[in-house]
Structure 1
């Protein structure tokens, strides 16, 4: 009990009852004044340090996480694919990892393609909604200095502290930006108040207009508002208050200020109370007690100064020293709390660092850790290998069995990867992508290692009576002089994509496949220009009417005449058009050109019907069929002169919509044909419902017709089925006269194939037709 401050003061006052009252009173008064000044100055300094620490930490965390999210390949892939819903889900997942209040994504053309705003309902539950600027133009100018815009963003009367990072593709090409923000409001103000003990808030000022962004505790009173405003605007300091301010920047032509304040009497209430107690005691005791009181005040202030000095030392980032004072129990407890506080800060920083360099689900290293570990290997000139692993069918697992099972599968794969080679660095880059990084690994042993990896990963995994066969596809790249880790990862990803396309288990990077990938990327960018600049041309393959033995129809096939690469076949650029949403423009060009060709043949006295292929993407556009009908009328082309060919897969993808669209075309007189019949997945019941006029038997059944009994049975059955349903039949792939005669004898209506002619441009086709025996 004697170590308690109140007991010691009482005991000392009893012992020094005969002290000189006047001298002790004056010395005690001066000591109290200095203590008040020092306490006020320290409080303001602590307030400044706390605010800067909170503000800088939020800025750093937002910038670091925005950079990390921008490097997420899964996020980039969804961004490039244009699947806005999936992109918003992925963006929200990233937002949730740091509990950000705002998440934004801006495309390269300045459009806000993703804006998610998180708030809380009355029950404290988080609500995530689309921001008001979704699909709007971004308010700031987009350029290479994008990351230097104001770190504050005012949205729907709410202010956010935000940081952006560029999304790049193919090296340094910026395809957009992604940003995350924390709300600046009452919550942050309350946090500052808890740390400093001062009333805290944020204020926006625009000329005479003042608005409070956030304030701690209850609403700020009018007197306090005037006091803070005068201090911020005119720098008028009221001596009755402790005031602190900080200009943070401009937000939409408004100046943003942070402030802290408190009544001087409230702040110094404890010191004033102690002073009054001392005065009362001094007035009642002898002068000698005042001398001892002065010594006691020195005993009290000395450890406080020690604590202030050590607090400043800690504020500079020195967290590994113990805070201690030789004084009362209360101050020793305060010193112990200081030590606990700095230990908690160290623990939080270690946790943040672990989160920044490790995957939260599997606890494997992430992309940041991969860079941090591998870059010294490369700088030291060590040979290394990167094995990028993609787990197959993870999307099906998540959709069919749920993400809980999917997460368990991912953790199981991570566990197996860790046991394969203890010297390898195992990382998880995204949802179903892992990396194994090897230092000093021999090329010659990698095939054997991949075979072992396939066995290890391919072992059955059972989860709650569900047995899963795990498989993967891998891309491998080896270090070379001058190649950094980013390039190695890109090369491994290129090899991985090549393995997927060619249905291989793995692929080791080769410069040739990289060249193909670059060329494909260039074609993606050039296809739109090709359509607009008429670099496309139609080839025509004749269809022989087997009844009349006359060429009455042709199939229009598009070719790309590239100014540098020459003729590019449709198998190369049609998939590109489908994936880049350019199929509609391509099909419309083909139909328009076919109509123009029809009139050119009519002018020469050639009456020829033209067949054009349309895709599933065209049938998904409800305006497409109306456009076809209107364009035929505008170009004065009879509907009998145009046949539209569709594949079975185009119908299977959405039967209800496809039948609706095809019925519209059929009702307007257009001839419809099922292309490549027999290779898709349509059933007889579905075929009966389709409003089509003819079937085209796929060439795979016709090319070896006379040599394969099974093909004869299939073709014969198809002819009977089609005729029973009232459909005509076109046979593709006729390569000899015997096949032509066989089909004619079995009443096949039309045939086409290389025996008649390969696809030809307009002028060569006209020459062929004039010399053909079937003219």
Structure 2
């Protein structure tokens, strides 16, 4: 037992256990990798076999079909065919056959007689011999007419199988006077060619329920055991783990099934991999004794100076950093002892540096969040009338992107310097990239306006870096001390005020409970929107569109509302921006489109034929799968593409014109109607509008609501109508609120109109009731 208590013994035992574990794991991983490699190699071989065969087979088919079509267009061949000079026709037919070295050439008259059948074969001296086929002047075995062109590409003649393609001979108009075809022999030559390309034994078989006939096979002959194997595999659908086998059914030939096959012995195929596996095992076995000897030597060399180092390490652990460490051992361990001594001196410096880094920002050397908390907590305990000013430097991202992070760092340093000079009683901290905090121990609401003006003057001074002049600006949020409030709450309140100032484009905002309430409600809506989409809390309202020429409601616009279980109906302006910022716009739009398709079918049952317009956003166009989903969804729901219109705002196109045009073009090619919504309020140019694959423009309601009172609006609407019509686009005017505006637009040939004069957006049942009583039904 004392033997095992020795450190050297334990170290050696540890190394032995570690070596055995590592070698065992290496052996297992090598074995698993070898198994996966074998499986992958076999799969690759089968895939290669399939691809090679399909390529060869398809190329022969294409070549035969193309050449048959070319020969059928030969006017000389047609003239001889019509004249009835059989000998000359056979000579011409053989000339065509020899051009592609076909093994079989056939010609069939319109009456169904084989008037030409030439069979080519190789003689003993390798010369080609061409003879008349056994079916010469016989009745063709297959029906003529339209079925002739769909014949099986295989033809069995005199126990030889040919891959053949026919083409009709026409005369005058399109009258068929006969057919001409050419074929390649399926035999050992083709099988040998496949074997050279794939490395697998290849061949073809004709099979019935109880019989197998080898048509062609690579090599000299097919062994009996392999014939039996292939028979079971092809006919009985059995497998054999000693071989890898591939087959493909090619078609029926005179009541027999034609199969192509490739196979090889698994052991032959994987011989090289097995050899590598044995070599790897041998290396692992050889490593074991070498590793054990090395472990024994290492354990002995380590333990000798260990005792000295342990004693001196204990001395250092007690806080004695002034002593030196030394051992009588190798150079490396002596260096280790020297490093112990150096470490003692470095520990003191690092402890100070670590403490500083834990509480200070490395770039500006200002206090960080930890330092802020450590400083402020005593103020809160004492109940000081303190305030926090959370400052966000504007356009820092733009500076970093445009001028580089090196310039951005210099700007941050300059801001830190200026903050320290604002007020001697204020403490400056840096929380993150462009966020700072000024903490005031004694500060009240009344005096803070003066401090903020001084802060604006101090920060707002122009800053020149090299040749670049920068005008620094900030947005601030302020929170003040309240009883029973901790530093985390104060920072959150200051951040809430800061975000409110950003949204309302203010320089600063002092925290107010009403601001926080709105933020909490918005946060709750963010969390609840996903559930609302999944649980169908959304509902569609429909606003009718009037066909001004027909004075009939033919279209509606689907507008989504949120029927919140506690807050009631929530308008889209409240939750759609949330959906865009929380990456839920795709799910929301898909719900709206799906519900609109269901609504289409409900109206069809009521005899209402209505086209539904749905709005899509820029986020939808950024998803390349979205357009494919829309197309597939229409097909799955059996909704005609003409019944769906997609409305896109100008801003959605401007954000990424190239991608938007690509997506919209895909939708347009599949028949969907596309509309530019709120036209006139965005930033798209006329050149860009010309390139967009859209069908209609929707004039924004801001130009229509007071159309008859504002001459400028009339000019804009009239020119927009003229522009759209010249581009072949239809126009929808939204915001119609009186009959006079409706009549004015009708006279100018505006295609469609919508607005409160016709109807506000209504839920399904109310819309149905309104439509039933409407004058525009």
By the TM > 0.5 criterion, same fold?
Answer: yes
- Give the SS at the match of 1:425: strand
> Given the superposition, is the C-alpha separation of residues 421 and 339 from structure 1 closer, same or farther in structure 2, using an over 3 Å criterion?
farther
- Offset of 1:634 from its aligned partner? 2.2
2-structure distance, mates of 1:435, 1:490: 12
2:418–2:458 contact (8 Å) kept in structure 1: yes
Q: How does 1:413-428 map to 2 (within 5 A)?
A: 413-428=415-430
1-structure distance, mates of 2:483, 2:403: 45
2-structure distance, mates of 1:745, 1:501: 44
**Structure 1 residues 142-172: Cα deviation after superposition (integer angstroms, max 9, x where no partner):** xxxxxxxxxxxxxxxxxxxxxxxxxxxxxxx
1:695–1:722 contact (8 Å) kept in structure 2: yes
1:357–1:365 contact (8 Å) kept in structure 2: yes
2:444–2:480 contact (8 Å) kept in structure 1: no
Counterpart for residue 755 of structure 1: 757
Counterpart for residue 767 of structure 2: 765
> Given the superposition, is the C-alpha separation of residues 423 and 226 from structure 1 closer, same or farther in structure 2, using an over 3 Å criterion?
farther
Counterpart for residue 208 of structure 2: none
2-structure distance, mates of 1:695, 1:397: 38
1-structure distance, mates of 2:338, 2:535: 77
- Offset of 1:315 from its aligned partner? 2.8
Counterpart for residue 400 of structure 2: 398
- Give the SS at the match of 2:757: coil
**1:732 alignment partner, one of 719, 734, 737:** 734
- Offset of 1:758 from its aligned partner? 1.0
- Offset of 1:554 from its aligned partner? 0.7
> Given the superposition, is the C-alpha separation of residues 205 and 752 from structure 1 closer, same or farther in structure 2, using an over 3 Å criterion?
same
1:732–1:753 contact (8 Å) kept in structure 2: yes
Worse-matched range after superposition: 755-764 or 376-385: 376-385
1-structure distance, mates of 2:744, 2:737: 12
**Structure 1 residues 399-430: Cα deviation after superposition (integer angstroms, max 9, x where no partner):** 11111111111111111111101221111111
- Offset of 1:265 from its aligned partner? 9.9
1-structure distance, mates of 2:575, 2:307: 79
- Offset of 1:207 from its aligned partner? 11
1:204–1:210 contact (8 Å) kept in structure 2: no
Q: Does residue 436 in structure 1 map to residue 438 in structure 2? A: yes
2:579–2:588 contact (8 Å) kept in structure 1: yes
Q: How does 1:102-181 map to 2 (within 5 A)?
A: none
Counterpart for residue 67 of structure 1: none
TM-score (norm 2): 0.59
**Structure 1 residues 686-709: Cα deviation after superposition (integer angstroms, max 9, x where no partner):** 100001011011112222222333
> Given the superposition, is the C-alpha separation of residues 317 and 209 from structure 1 closer, same or farther in structure 2, using an over 3 Å criterion?
farther
Q: How does 1:450-599 map to 2 (within 5 A)?
A: 450-599=452-601
- Give the SS at the match of 2:556: strand
Structure 1: which 5+ residue stretches go unaligned? 1-198, 212-220, 233-260, 272-307, 324-334
- Offset of 1:312 from its aligned partner? 5.5
**Structure 1 residues 103-144: Cα deviation after superposition (integer angstroms, max 9, x where no partner):** xxxxxxxxxxxxxxxxxxxxxxxxxxxxxxxxxxxxxxxxxx
1-structure distance, mates of 2:727, 2:695: 9
- Offset of 1:618 from its aligned partner? 1.4
- Give the SS at the match of 2:681: coil
> Given the superposition, is the C-alpha separation of residues 321 and 384 from structure 1 closer, same or farther in structure 2, using an over 3 Å criterion?
farther
- Offset of 1:448 from its aligned partner? 2.4
Q: How does 1:708-723 map to 2 (within 5 A)?
A: 708-723=710-725
**Structure 1 residues 525-564: Cα deviation after superposition (integer angstroms, max 9, x where no partner):** 2212111111110001111112222221110000110111
Q: Does residue 663 in structure 1 map to residue 665 in structure 2? A: yes
> Given the superposition, is the C-alpha separation of residues 231 and 678 from structure 1 closer, same or farther in structure 2, using an over 3 Å criterion?
same
- Give the SS at the match of 2:397: helix
Counterpart for residue 632 of structure 1: 634
How big is the alpha-carbon RMSD for the aligned residues of Structure 1 and Structure 2? 3.5
Whose radius of gyration is greater, 1 or 2? Answer: 2
**2:680 alignment partner, one of 672, 678, 681:** 678
Counterpart for residue 359 of structure 2: 357
- Give the SS at the match of 1:420: coil
> Given the superposition, is the C-alpha separation of residues 366 and 231 from structure 1 closer, same or farther in structure 2, using an over 3 Å criterion?
farther
2:19–2:288 contact (8 Å) kept in structure 1: no
2-structure distance, mates of 1:515, 1:550: 47
Counterpart for residue 707 of structure 2: 705
Q: How does 1:56-95 map to 2 (within 5 A)?
A: none
1-structure distance, mates of 2:605, 2:338: 100
1:648–1:680 contact (8 Å) kept in structure 2: yes
| Greater relative CO, 1 or 2 (CA 8 Å, sep 6+) | 1
**2:646 alignment partner, one of 625, 644, 647:** 644
2-structure distance, mates of 1:683, 1:361: 45
Structure 2: which 5+ residue stretches go unaligned? 1-14, 28-286, 326-336
1:538–1:558 contact (8 Å) kept in structure 2: yes
> Given the superposition, is the C-alpha separation of residues 372 and 756 from structure 1 closer, same or farther in structure 2, using an over 3 Å criterion?
same
Counterpart for residue 217 of structure 1: none
2-structure distance, mates of 1:468, 1:580: 33
Counterpart for residue 152 of structure 1: none
Q: How does 1:163-202 map to 2 (within 5 A)?
A: none
1:203–1:210 contact (8 Å) kept in structure 2: no
- Offset of 1:209 from its aligned partner? 7.6
2-structure distance, mates of 1:542, 1:340: 84
2-structure distance, mates of 1:668, 1:205: 62
1-structure distance, mates of 2:489, 2:450: 25
- Offset of 1:363 from its aligned partner? 1.0
> Given the superposition, is the C-alpha separation of residues 575 and 309 from structure 1 closer, same or farther in structure 2, using an over 3 Å criterion?
same
- Give the SS at the match of 1:774: coil
Counterpart for residue 179 of structure 2: none
- Offset of 1:452 from its aligned partner? 2.1
2-structure distance, mates of 1:670, 1:346: 74
> Given the superposition, is the C-alpha separation of residues 224 and 519 from structure 1 closer, same or farther in structure 2, using an over 3 Å criterion?
farther
- Offset of 1:607 from its aligned partner? 1.8
- Offset of 1:741 from its aligned partner? 2.4
1-structure distance, mates of 2:308, 2:565: 85
- Give the SS at the match of 1:695: strand
1-structure distance, mates of 2:432, 2:650: 35
Worse-matched range after superposition: 561-570 or 600-609: 600-609
1:540–1:557 contact (8 Å) kept in structure 2: yes
> Given the superposition, is the C-alpha separation of residues 265 and 624 from structure 1 closer, same or farther in structure 2, using an over 3 Å criterion?
closer
